[in-house]
A and B are shown apart, each in its own frame.
Chain A
Amino acid sequence: MTLRDKACVTGVGETTYMRGSTQTAFELQIEASLKAIADAGLDPKQIDGVIPIGIVSATAEDFIDNFGIPDLRFSALVPHGGASPVMALQCAAAAVAAGVCNHVLIAFGRNVTGAAATKAGARIHTMPQFHYVTEFEYPIGNAAPAQIYAPMAQRHMALYGTKVAHFGEVAVAHRQHALLNDNAVMKKPMTLEDHANSRMIADPFRLFDCSLESDGGAACIVSAAERAGDLKHRRVFISGTAAGHPDQPGAITQRPDMTSLGIAKAAQRAFQMAGVTHADIDVAEIYDCFTYAVIRQLEDLGFCKKGEGGPFVEGGRLRLDGALPTNTHGGLLSQAHVWGLNHIVELVHQLRGDAGRAQVKDAEVGLVTGYGDLGDGAVAIMRRD
Protein backbone atom coordinates (compact mmCIF):
# COMPACT_ATOMS: atom_id res chain seq x y z
CA MET A 1 0.00 0.00 0.00
CA THR A 2 1.08 3.55 -0.64
CA LEU A 3 -0.42 6.85 0.50
CA ARG A 4 -0.55 8.16 -3.06
CA ASP A 5 -3.77 10.09 -3.59
CA LYS A 6 -5.42 8.51 -0.55
CA ALA A 7 -5.95 11.87 1.14
CA CYS A 8 -6.88 15.40 0.12
CA VAL A 9 -6.40 18.81 1.68
CA THR A 10 -10.02 19.93 1.74
CA GLY A 11 -9.86 23.13 3.75
CA VAL A 12 -7.41 25.89 4.55
CA GLY A 13 -7.60 28.93 6.80
CA GLU A 14 -5.43 31.77 8.01
CA THR A 15 -5.81 34.70 10.35
CA THR A 16 -4.47 38.13 9.52
CA TYR A 17 -0.70 38.02 9.86
CA MET A 18 0.84 40.88 11.80
CA ARG A 19 3.23 42.03 14.47
CA GLY A 20 1.93 43.05 17.85
CA SER A 21 -1.29 41.04 17.78
CA THR A 22 -3.45 41.42 20.87
CA GLN A 23 -4.78 37.87 20.43
CA THR A 24 -3.25 34.91 22.19
CA ALA A 25 -1.68 32.03 20.26
CA PHE A 26 -4.67 29.91 21.29
CA GLU A 27 -7.18 32.43 19.93
CA LEU A 28 -5.26 32.66 16.66
CA GLN A 29 -5.11 28.87 16.38
CA ILE A 30 -8.86 28.51 16.96
CA GLU A 31 -9.71 31.32 14.53
CA ALA A 32 -7.64 29.71 11.77
CA SER A 33 -9.16 26.31 12.58
CA LEU A 34 -12.73 27.56 12.22
CA LYS A 35 -11.82 29.21 8.92
CA ALA A 36 -10.28 26.00 7.56
CA ILE A 37 -13.27 23.93 8.68
CA ALA A 38 -15.69 26.39 7.05
CA ASP A 39 -13.54 26.45 3.90
CA ALA A 40 -13.94 22.67 3.66
CA GLY A 41 -17.70 22.97 4.11
CA LEU A 42 -17.60 20.99 7.33
CA ASP A 43 -19.08 21.57 10.76
CA PRO A 44 -16.53 21.64 13.61
CA LYS A 45 -18.25 18.56 15.13
CA GLN A 46 -17.32 16.56 12.02
CA ILE A 47 -13.61 16.87 12.83
CA ASP A 48 -12.61 13.45 14.10
CA GLY A 49 -8.82 13.81 14.08
CA VAL A 50 -6.55 16.60 15.27
CA ILE A 51 -2.83 17.34 15.13
CA PRO A 52 -2.02 20.53 17.06
CA ILE A 53 1.26 21.94 15.71
CA GLY A 54 3.88 22.63 18.32
CA ILE A 55 3.16 22.05 21.97
CA VAL A 56 2.61 25.75 22.48
CA SER A 57 -1.11 26.33 22.80
CA ALA A 58 -4.16 24.17 22.15
CA THR A 59 -4.20 20.49 23.05
CA ALA A 60 -6.42 17.89 21.39
CA GLU A 61 -8.70 18.15 24.43
CA ASP A 62 -9.07 21.90 23.87
CA PHE A 63 -10.54 21.22 20.42
CA ILE A 64 -13.01 18.71 21.86
CA ASP A 65 -14.02 21.18 24.57
CA ASN A 66 -14.44 24.19 22.29
CA PHE A 67 -16.02 22.48 19.28
CA GLY A 68 -18.04 19.91 21.21
CA ILE A 69 -16.51 17.18 19.08
CA PRO A 70 -18.54 14.07 19.97
CA ASP A 71 -16.01 11.44 18.89
CA LEU A 72 -12.40 12.41 18.29
CA ARG A 73 -10.90 9.20 17.01
CA PHE A 74 -7.36 10.27 16.33
CA SER A 75 -4.82 12.73 17.68
CA ALA A 76 -1.07 13.03 17.39
CA LEU A 77 1.82 15.37 18.07
CA VAL A 78 4.56 15.83 15.51
CA PRO A 79 7.24 17.69 17.45
CA HIS A 80 9.73 18.77 14.77
CA GLY A 81 9.52 22.55 14.69
CA GLY A 82 9.03 23.95 11.22
CA ALA A 83 8.94 20.45 9.74
CA SER A 84 5.85 19.65 11.81
CA PRO A 85 3.08 20.95 9.51
CA VAL A 86 4.23 18.94 6.47
CA MET A 87 5.05 15.93 8.66
CA ALA A 88 1.51 16.29 10.02
CA LEU A 89 0.20 15.98 6.44
CA GLN A 90 1.99 12.63 6.25
CA CYS A 91 0.60 11.57 9.62
CA ALA A 92 -2.93 12.68 8.76
CA ALA A 93 -2.82 11.06 5.31
CA ALA A 94 -1.77 7.78 6.92
CA ALA A 95 -4.59 8.02 9.46
CA VAL A 96 -7.36 8.71 6.94
CA ALA A 97 -5.98 6.20 4.42
CA ALA A 98 -6.14 3.51 7.10
CA GLY A 99 -9.71 4.42 7.94
CA VAL A 100 -8.87 5.53 11.46
CA CYS A 101 -10.76 8.81 10.95
CA ASN A 102 -12.10 10.99 8.14
CA HIS A 103 -11.21 14.64 8.69
CA VAL A 104 -7.99 15.68 10.46
CA LEU A 105 -7.52 19.26 11.59
CA ILE A 106 -3.91 20.52 11.56
CA ALA A 107 -3.69 23.88 13.29
CA PHE A 108 -1.12 26.33 14.59
CA GLY A 109 -1.14 29.70 16.27
CA ARG A 110 1.57 31.89 17.70
CA ASN A 111 2.07 35.27 19.29
CA VAL A 112 5.78 36.01 19.64
CA THR A 113 6.17 39.72 19.00
CA GLY A 114 5.11 40.86 22.44
CA ALA A 115 7.55 40.15 25.28
CA ALA A 116 11.29 39.72 24.77
CA ALA A 117 10.98 36.39 26.57
CA THR A 118 9.17 34.96 23.56
CA LYS A 119 11.80 35.84 20.93
CA ALA A 120 13.63 33.06 19.13
CA GLY A 121 16.88 33.69 20.96
CA ALA A 122 15.17 33.08 24.29
CA ARG A 123 12.68 30.44 23.21
CA ILE A 124 14.71 27.53 21.96
CA HIS A 125 16.55 26.94 25.21
CA THR A 126 13.30 25.88 26.81
CA MET A 127 12.81 23.10 24.24
CA PRO A 128 14.03 19.57 25.00
CA GLN A 129 15.20 18.83 21.46
CA PHE A 130 17.76 21.63 21.75
CA HIS A 131 19.40 20.33 24.92
CA TYR A 132 22.86 19.98 23.37
CA VAL A 133 22.76 23.55 22.11
CA THR A 134 21.45 24.72 25.46
CA GLU A 135 24.19 22.97 27.41
CA PHE A 136 27.26 23.40 25.22
CA GLU A 137 26.62 26.29 22.83
CA TYR A 138 24.21 28.79 24.35
CA PRO A 139 26.60 29.70 27.22
CA ILE A 140 29.22 30.91 24.72
CA GLY A 141 26.78 32.87 22.60
CA ASN A 142 25.24 30.43 20.12
CA ALA A 143 21.79 31.52 21.09
CA ALA A 144 19.49 31.99 18.10
CA PRO A 145 18.73 30.10 14.89
CA ALA A 146 20.58 32.72 12.82
CA GLN A 147 23.78 31.94 14.72
CA ILE A 148 23.22 28.21 14.87
CA TYR A 149 22.53 27.94 11.11
CA ALA A 150 25.13 30.42 9.87
CA PRO A 151 28.07 27.95 9.88
CA MET A 152 26.12 25.72 7.45
CA ALA A 153 25.79 28.61 5.02
CA GLN A 154 29.36 29.77 5.61
CA ARG A 155 30.69 26.32 4.72
CA HIS A 156 28.41 26.09 1.68
CA MET A 157 29.82 29.40 0.46
CA ALA A 158 33.39 28.29 1.08
CA LEU A 159 33.01 24.89 -0.58
CA TYR A 160 30.77 25.77 -3.51
CA GLY A 161 31.18 29.48 -4.13
CA THR A 162 27.64 30.41 -3.13
CA LYS A 163 27.39 34.21 -3.07
CA VAL A 164 25.64 36.93 -1.13
CA ALA A 165 23.82 37.82 -4.36
CA HIS A 166 22.35 34.30 -4.46
CA PHE A 167 20.86 34.82 -1.01
CA GLY A 168 19.67 38.22 -2.24
CA GLU A 169 17.94 36.68 -5.22
CA VAL A 170 15.92 34.47 -2.87
CA ALA A 171 15.02 37.40 -0.59
CA VAL A 172 13.97 39.64 -3.48
CA ALA A 173 11.81 36.95 -5.13
CA HIS A 174 9.99 36.40 -1.83
CA ARG A 175 9.43 40.11 -1.34
CA GLN A 176 8.04 40.50 -4.86
CA HIS A 177 5.54 37.76 -4.10
CA ALA A 178 4.60 39.28 -0.74
CA LEU A 179 3.75 42.54 -2.51
CA LEU A 180 1.08 40.61 -4.44
CA ASN A 181 -0.40 39.28 -1.20
CA ASP A 182 -2.70 41.45 0.91
CA ASN A 183 -2.08 39.23 3.94
CA ALA A 184 1.69 39.70 4.07
CA VAL A 185 3.54 41.46 6.88
CA MET A 186 6.19 43.02 4.62
CA LYS A 187 4.84 45.74 2.34
CA LYS A 188 7.91 47.53 0.97
CA PRO A 189 9.76 46.56 -2.23
CA MET A 190 13.29 45.18 -1.86
CA THR A 191 16.24 45.27 -4.27
CA LEU A 192 19.38 43.15 -4.33
CA GLU A 193 21.18 46.24 -3.05
CA ASP A 194 18.77 46.59 -0.14
CA HIS A 195 19.50 42.99 0.76
CA ALA A 196 23.28 43.40 0.53
CA ASN A 197 23.10 46.58 2.62
CA SER A 198 20.92 45.16 5.37
CA ARG A 199 22.76 44.85 8.67
CA MET A 200 24.75 41.74 9.43
CA ILE A 201 23.21 39.48 12.08
CA ALA A 202 25.40 36.36 12.03
CA ASP A 203 27.77 36.25 9.07
CA PRO A 204 26.79 35.37 6.34
CA PHE A 205 23.17 36.07 7.38
CA ARG A 206 22.04 39.65 7.03
CA LEU A 207 18.74 40.92 8.37
CA PHE A 208 16.99 40.22 5.03
CA ASP A 209 18.24 36.62 5.03
CA CYS A 210 16.25 35.97 8.20
CA SER A 211 12.59 35.05 8.42
CA LEU A 212 10.09 37.20 10.26
CA GLU A 213 8.98 37.09 13.85
CA SER A 214 5.24 37.54 13.43
CA ASP A 215 1.90 36.62 14.97
CA GLY A 216 -0.89 34.63 13.40
CA GLY A 217 -2.62 31.32 12.96
CA ALA A 218 -3.01 28.88 10.09
CA ALA A 219 -4.81 25.58 9.67
CA CYS A 220 -5.74 22.94 7.14
CA ILE A 221 -8.01 19.91 6.94
CA VAL A 222 -6.86 16.56 5.59
CA SER A 223 -9.72 14.30 4.54
CA ALA A 224 -9.97 10.79 3.18
CA ALA A 225 -10.01 11.11 -0.62
CA GLU A 226 -13.36 9.34 -0.93
CA ARG A 227 -14.94 11.78 1.54
CA ALA A 228 -13.43 14.83 -0.12
CA GLY A 229 -15.51 14.73 -3.31
CA ASP A 230 -18.66 15.92 -1.50
CA LEU A 231 -16.96 18.94 0.00
CA LYS A 232 -16.83 22.52 -1.18
CA HIS A 233 -13.72 22.78 -3.32
CA ARG A 234 -12.03 20.97 -6.14
CA ARG A 235 -9.99 18.16 -4.61
CA VAL A 236 -6.29 18.69 -3.97
CA PHE A 237 -4.64 15.31 -3.52
CA ILE A 238 -1.63 14.51 -1.38
CA SER A 239 0.16 12.41 -4.01
CA GLY A 240 3.50 11.85 -2.33
CA THR A 241 4.73 12.58 1.16
CA ALA A 242 7.83 11.68 3.13
CA ALA A 243 9.90 12.77 6.12
CA GLY A 244 13.60 12.52 6.91
CA HIS A 245 16.04 13.43 9.64
CA PRO A 246 19.70 14.36 9.41
CA ASP A 247 22.30 12.24 11.15
CA GLN A 248 23.06 13.76 14.56
CA PRO A 249 19.91 15.89 14.52
CA GLY A 250 20.47 17.41 17.96
CA ALA A 251 23.36 19.69 17.06
CA ILE A 252 24.54 21.02 13.72
CA THR A 253 28.04 21.17 15.18
CA GLN A 254 28.26 17.35 15.31
CA ARG A 255 26.55 16.63 11.98
CA PRO A 256 28.73 14.55 9.63
CA ASP A 257 27.86 16.82 6.67
CA MET A 258 26.48 20.02 8.12
CA THR A 259 25.32 21.23 4.71
CA SER A 260 22.98 18.25 4.27
CA LEU A 261 19.44 18.11 5.62
CA GLY A 262 16.89 15.46 6.52
CA ILE A 263 14.87 16.29 3.44
CA ALA A 264 17.64 14.75 1.30
CA LYS A 265 16.52 11.35 2.59
CA ALA A 266 12.82 12.11 2.06
CA ALA A 267 12.77 13.74 -1.37
CA GLN A 268 13.11 10.70 -3.59
CA ARG A 269 10.55 8.77 -1.58
CA ALA A 270 8.01 11.55 -2.10
CA PHE A 271 8.64 11.86 -5.84
CA GLN A 272 8.42 8.08 -6.29
CA MET A 273 5.20 7.88 -4.33
CA ALA A 274 3.65 10.69 -6.36
CA GLY A 275 4.91 9.27 -9.65
CA VAL A 276 6.05 12.68 -10.87
CA THR A 277 9.40 14.19 -11.82
CA HIS A 278 10.93 17.55 -11.01
CA ALA A 279 9.85 18.87 -14.41
CA ASP A 280 6.22 18.27 -13.40
CA ILE A 281 6.39 20.67 -10.47
CA ASP A 282 4.59 23.87 -11.46
CA VAL A 283 4.96 25.69 -8.14
CA ALA A 284 7.05 25.12 -5.00
CA GLU A 285 6.52 26.33 -1.44
CA ILE A 286 9.85 25.72 0.29
CA TYR A 287 10.45 26.31 3.99
CA ASP A 288 12.45 29.51 4.17
CA CYS A 289 13.61 30.15 7.71
CA PHE A 290 16.68 31.64 6.00
CA THR A 291 17.41 32.42 2.34
CA TYR A 292 20.16 29.81 2.45
CA ALA A 293 17.67 27.14 3.56
CA VAL A 294 15.81 27.52 0.26
CA ILE A 295 19.00 27.12 -1.76
CA ARG A 296 20.06 24.09 0.23
CA GLN A 297 16.67 22.37 -0.03
CA LEU A 298 16.54 22.92 -3.80
CA GLU A 299 19.72 20.84 -3.91
CA ASP A 300 18.51 18.19 -1.46
CA LEU A 301 15.19 17.92 -3.32
CA GLY A 302 17.12 17.20 -6.51
CA PHE A 303 16.17 20.29 -8.52
CA CYS A 304 19.90 20.82 -9.00
CA LYS A 305 23.13 19.16 -7.92
CA LYS A 306 24.73 19.71 -4.55
CA GLY A 307 26.56 23.00 -4.54
CA GLU A 308 24.65 24.38 -7.53
CA GLY A 309 21.76 25.89 -5.59
CA GLY A 310 23.25 29.38 -5.80
CA PRO A 311 23.51 29.54 -9.61
CA PHE A 312 20.15 27.72 -9.80
CA VAL A 313 18.27 30.68 -8.28
CA GLU A 314 19.96 33.22 -10.56
CA GLY A 315 18.04 35.00 -13.30
CA GLY A 316 14.74 35.10 -11.43
CA ARG A 317 14.04 31.37 -11.58
CA LEU A 318 12.07 31.47 -8.31
CA ARG A 319 9.98 34.48 -9.31
CA LEU A 320 6.38 34.23 -10.42
CA ASP A 321 7.36 34.44 -14.09
CA GLY A 322 10.38 32.16 -13.61
CA ALA A 323 10.78 28.45 -14.35
CA LEU A 324 10.09 27.40 -10.73
CA PRO A 325 7.85 29.94 -8.99
CA THR A 326 8.66 29.52 -5.31
CA ASN A 327 6.99 30.78 -2.16
CA THR A 328 4.36 32.62 -4.13
CA HIS A 329 2.84 33.96 -0.89
CA GLY A 330 6.06 35.62 0.28
CA GLY A 331 7.12 32.80 2.59
CA LEU A 332 8.45 33.09 6.12
CA LEU A 333 10.82 35.76 4.84
CA SER A 334 8.18 38.23 3.71
CA GLN A 335 4.64 36.97 4.38
CA ALA A 336 4.68 35.60 7.94
CA HIS A 337 6.23 32.93 10.13
CA VAL A 338 3.69 30.33 11.15
CA TRP A 339 6.04 27.36 10.96
CA GLY A 340 5.30 26.89 7.26
CA LEU A 341 1.63 26.05 7.63
CA ASN A 342 1.15 29.10 5.40
CA HIS A 343 3.13 27.22 2.73
CA ILE A 344 0.55 24.42 2.74
CA VAL A 345 -2.29 26.95 2.59
CA GLU A 346 -0.64 28.70 -0.37
CA LEU A 347 -0.02 25.49 -2.31
CA VAL A 348 -3.68 24.50 -1.93
CA HIS A 349 -4.78 27.91 -3.22
CA GLN A 350 -2.39 27.59 -6.17
CA LEU A 351 -3.73 24.16 -7.11
CA ARG A 352 -7.35 25.26 -6.72
CA GLY A 353 -6.55 28.21 -8.98
CA ASP A 354 -7.62 30.85 -6.45
CA ALA A 355 -4.22 32.28 -5.45
CA GLY A 356 -5.12 35.79 -6.58
CA ARG A 357 -2.48 38.03 -8.08
CA ALA A 358 0.25 35.47 -7.39
CA GLN A 359 -1.54 32.67 -9.23
CA VAL A 360 0.79 30.47 -11.28
CA LYS A 361 -1.03 29.88 -14.56
CA ASP A 362 -2.45 26.36 -14.88
CA ALA A 363 -0.69 25.06 -11.77
CA GLU A 364 -1.52 21.35 -11.61
CA VAL A 365 1.25 19.85 -9.50
CA GLY A 366 3.14 21.48 -6.65
CA LEU A 367 5.47 20.75 -3.79
CA VAL A 368 5.69 21.97 -0.21
CA THR A 369 8.47 21.38 2.30
CA GLY A 370 8.95 21.73 6.01
CA TYR A 371 12.24 22.19 7.83
CA GLY A 372 12.65 22.34 11.53
CA ASP A 373 14.68 21.82 14.67
CA LEU A 374 18.08 22.23 12.97
CA GLY A 375 17.44 19.97 9.97
CA ASP A 376 14.42 17.67 10.26
CA GLY A 377 12.65 17.70 6.92
CA ALA A 378 9.38 16.81 5.24
CA VAL A 379 8.00 17.12 1.74
CA ALA A 380 4.55 16.73 0.22
CA ILE A 381 3.72 16.70 -3.47
CA MET A 382 0.14 17.64 -4.28
CA ARG A 383 -1.94 17.69 -7.44
CA ARG A 384 -5.33 19.05 -8.34
CA ASP A 385 -8.18 16.78 -9.37
Chain B
Amino acid sequence: MTHAMNLTMPETPARPSHKITPLSAPYWEAAAQGRLLLQKCASCGKVRHYPRMLCDACYSAQTNWVQASGRGKVHSWTVCHHAFHPSFVVDLPYTLVTVDLEESVRALGRWRGAGLVIGDAVVAQFEQRSEGPELFFTASPRTE
Protein backbone atom coordinates (compact mmCIF):
# COMPACT_ATOMS: atom_id res chain seq x y z
CA MET B 1 0.00 0.00 0.00
CA THR B 2 2.79 2.37 0.89
CA HIS B 3 4.39 1.65 -2.45
CA ALA B 4 1.20 2.46 -4.35
CA MET B 5 0.81 5.75 -2.48
CA ASN B 6 4.33 6.76 -3.35
CA LEU B 7 3.57 6.32 -7.04
CA THR B 8 0.79 8.89 -6.93
CA MET B 9 2.41 11.41 -4.61
CA PRO B 10 4.82 14.08 -5.83
CA GLU B 11 8.38 13.16 -5.03
CA THR B 12 9.74 14.62 -1.80
CA PRO B 13 13.18 16.10 -2.25
CA ALA B 14 15.99 14.68 -0.13
CA ARG B 15 16.94 16.41 3.08
CA PRO B 16 20.22 18.35 3.20
CA SER B 17 23.11 15.93 3.47
CA HIS B 18 25.20 15.40 6.59
CA LYS B 19 28.50 17.17 6.03
CA ILE B 20 30.70 14.67 7.81
CA THR B 21 34.21 15.82 8.71
CA PRO B 22 37.22 13.75 9.83
CA LEU B 23 36.60 15.16 13.31
CA SER B 24 33.00 13.99 13.48
CA ALA B 25 33.22 10.75 11.48
CA PRO B 26 33.14 8.53 14.61
CA TYR B 27 29.93 10.27 15.72
CA TRP B 28 28.18 9.57 12.42
CA GLU B 29 29.48 6.02 12.12
CA ALA B 30 28.00 5.23 15.55
CA ALA B 31 24.80 7.13 14.78
CA ALA B 32 24.34 4.87 11.76
CA GLN B 33 24.27 2.00 14.25
CA GLY B 34 21.83 3.82 16.51
CA ARG B 35 24.38 4.86 19.13
CA LEU B 36 24.92 8.43 20.41
CA LEU B 37 28.63 9.05 20.94
CA LEU B 38 30.32 12.04 22.56
CA GLN B 39 33.93 13.16 22.67
CA LYS B 40 35.60 12.78 26.06
CA CYS B 41 39.01 14.32 26.73
CA ALA B 42 41.55 11.55 27.21
CA SER B 43 43.59 13.82 29.43
CA CYS B 44 41.16 15.51 31.84
CA GLY B 45 37.89 13.70 31.17
CA LYS B 46 35.76 16.68 30.12
CA VAL B 47 32.99 15.73 27.71
CA ARG B 48 32.48 18.05 24.72
CA HIS B 49 29.97 18.37 21.90
CA TYR B 50 29.72 19.25 19.03
CA PRO B 51 33.02 17.58 18.06
CA ARG B 52 36.06 19.81 18.06
CA MET B 53 39.80 19.43 17.98
CA LEU B 54 40.84 20.62 21.43
CA CYS B 55 39.53 20.22 24.96
CA ASP B 56 38.80 23.81 26.06
CA ALA B 57 39.76 22.95 29.66
CA CYS B 58 43.23 21.39 29.20
CA TYR B 59 43.90 21.90 25.43
CA SER B 60 44.56 18.23 24.84
CA ALA B 61 43.74 16.94 21.37
CA GLN B 62 43.50 13.34 22.59
CA THR B 63 39.93 12.11 22.83
CA ASN B 64 37.97 8.98 23.53
CA TRP B 65 34.50 8.48 22.14
CA VAL B 66 32.05 7.41 24.83
CA GLN B 67 28.45 6.33 24.46
CA ALA B 68 25.91 8.72 25.96
CA SER B 69 23.17 7.30 28.15
CA GLY B 70 20.63 8.92 25.84
CA ARG B 71 18.81 10.34 28.85
CA GLY B 72 18.31 14.06 29.17
CA LYS B 73 16.00 16.93 30.04
CA VAL B 74 14.25 19.46 27.85
CA HIS B 75 16.15 22.75 27.69
CA SER B 76 14.07 24.50 25.03
CA TRP B 77 12.29 23.90 21.74
CA THR B 78 10.58 25.39 18.72
CA VAL B 79 7.64 24.23 16.66
CA CYS B 80 8.45 24.92 13.01
CA HIS B 81 5.51 25.99 10.85
CA HIS B 82 7.48 27.13 7.82
CA ALA B 83 9.87 25.00 5.79
CA PHE B 84 13.08 26.77 4.77
CA HIS B 85 14.12 23.77 2.67
CA PRO B 86 11.66 21.92 0.39
CA SER B 87 12.43 18.54 1.98
CA PHE B 88 10.80 19.61 5.24
CA VAL B 89 7.42 20.65 3.81
CA VAL B 90 5.99 17.16 4.34
CA ASP B 91 6.94 17.30 8.03
CA LEU B 92 5.17 20.57 8.91
CA PRO B 93 4.58 21.34 11.65
CA TYR B 94 7.60 19.71 13.23
CA THR B 95 9.29 20.31 16.57
CA LEU B 96 13.00 20.69 17.29
CA VAL B 97 13.96 20.06 20.89
CA THR B 98 17.16 21.16 22.64
CA VAL B 99 18.10 18.64 25.31
CA ASP B 100 20.47 18.81 28.29
CA LEU B 101 22.09 15.37 28.15
CA GLU B 102 23.15 13.69 31.37
CA GLU B 103 26.76 14.10 30.24
CA SER B 104 26.48 17.93 30.60
CA VAL B 105 26.38 18.73 26.89
CA ARG B 106 23.36 19.37 24.70
CA ALA B 107 21.87 17.80 21.64
CA LEU B 108 19.30 19.02 19.15
CA GLY B 109 16.83 16.52 17.79
CA ARG B 110 13.37 16.10 16.38
CA TRP B 111 10.65 15.73 19.03
CA ARG B 112 8.17 12.91 18.73
CA GLY B 113 5.56 13.42 21.40
CA ALA B 114 3.07 15.80 22.94
CA GLY B 115 3.61 19.30 24.35
CA LEU B 116 6.94 20.19 25.93
CA VAL B 117 7.90 21.67 29.29
CA ILE B 118 11.42 22.70 30.34
CA GLY B 119 12.96 19.99 32.52
CA ASP B 120 10.86 17.10 31.18
CA ALA B 121 12.81 13.83 31.01
CA VAL B 122 13.45 12.56 27.48
CA VAL B 123 15.42 9.80 25.73
CA ALA B 124 17.40 9.86 22.49
CA GLN B 125 17.05 7.50 19.52
CA PHE B 126 18.11 7.45 15.89
CA GLU B 127 15.97 6.75 12.86
CA GLN B 128 17.95 5.48 9.88
CA ARG B 129 16.88 7.40 6.80
CA SER B 130 18.23 7.28 3.28
CA GLU B 131 19.94 10.64 3.83
CA GLY B 132 21.51 9.50 7.11
CA PRO B 133 20.63 9.02 10.77
CA GLU B 134 18.02 11.36 12.29
CA LEU B 135 18.38 12.04 16.02
CA PHE B 136 15.01 12.25 17.74
CA PHE B 137 13.74 12.34 21.30
CA THR B 138 10.68 10.89 22.98
CA ALA B 139 9.27 11.24 26.47
CA SER B 140 11.15 9.18 29.01
CA PRO B 141 9.24 6.06 30.10
CA ARG B 142 8.03 6.68 33.67
CA THR B 143 10.23 5.09 36.29
CA GLU B 144 9.25 4.46 39.87
Contacts and interface: CB of A to CB of B under 8 A. Distances in A.
A258 B75 contact: yes
Contacts of A152: 76
Nearest to A135: B19
Contacts of A205: 78
B134 interface: yes
A105 B110 CA distance: 45
Contacts of B32: none
Contacts, number: 110
A146 B132 contact: no
Interface string A131-167: 1101111111111101100111011001100000000
Given A154-B76, A201-B81, A251-B50, A140 B20 contact: no
Given A125-B16, A131-B19, A140-B108, A258 B76 contact: yes
Interface stretch (B1-9, B58-66, B88-96): B88-96
A136 B108 contact: yes
Interface residues of B, number: 37
B95 to A, nearest CB: 9
Contacts of B84: 119-122, 143-144, 146-147
A16 interface: no
A154 B80 CA distance: 12
Contacts of B49: 254
Contacts of A254: 49-50, 105-106
B134 A140 contact: yes
Given A138-B16, A139-B18, A140-B135, A151 B82 contact: no
Contacts of B55: none
A367 B76 CA distance: 31
A203 interface: yes
A154 B77 contact: yes
Nearest to B95: A203
Nearest to B82: A201
Given A151-B98, A155-B76, A155-B118, A139 B15 contact: yes
B85 interface: yes
B50 A199 contact: no
B81 A155 contact: no
A140 B84 CA distance: 12
Contacts of A122: 84-85
Interface string A196-214: 0001111111000000000
Given A119-B84, A131-B19, A141-B96, A154 B110 contact: no
B24 interface: yes
A57 interface: no
Nearest to A141: B88
**Interface of chain A, main secondary structure:** helix
A143 B50 contact: no
Interface string B104-144: 01111110000000100000000000011011000000000
Interface size class of A (residues with CB under 8 A): 35 or more
Contacts of B50: 132, 135-136, 250-251, 254
Contacts of B16: 125, 134, 138-139, 143
B79 interface: yes
Nearest to A207: B82
A258 B17 CA distance: 26
A121 B76 contact: no
Given A139-B131, A151-B77, A202 B19 contact: no
Q: Which of B18, B94, B132 gathers most chain A CB within 10 Å?
A: B18
Contacts of A202: 78-82
Contact of A142 (B91, B108, B131): B108
A253 interface: yes
A150 B96 CA distance: 10
Q: Which of B75, B78, B85 gathers most chain A CB within 10 Å?
A: B78
Nearest to B21: A135
Contacts of A137: 96, 108
A140 B78 CA distance: 13
Contacts of B17: 139
Contact of B78 (A125, A139, A203): A203
Interface of B: 15-21, 24, 49-50, 75-85, 88, 91, 94, 96, 98, 105-110, 118, 131-132, 134-135
Q: Which 5 pairs of residues, A with B, have the shortest CB-CB distance?
A: A121-B84, A150-B78, A151-B76, A144-B84, A143-B84
14 contacts: A131-B21, A136-B108, A141-B91, A142-B96, A143-B16, A147-B84, A152-B76, A154-B78, A155-B118, A200-B81, A201-B81, A202-B79, A202-B82, A203-B80
Interface of A: 119-122, 125, 131-132, 134-144, 146-147, 150-152, 154-155, 158-159, 199-205, 250-251, 253-254, 258
Given A141-B85, A150-B78, 9 more contacts: A120-B84, A135-B18, A135-B21, A140-B15, A140-B135, A142-B96, A159-B118, A254-B50, A258-B75
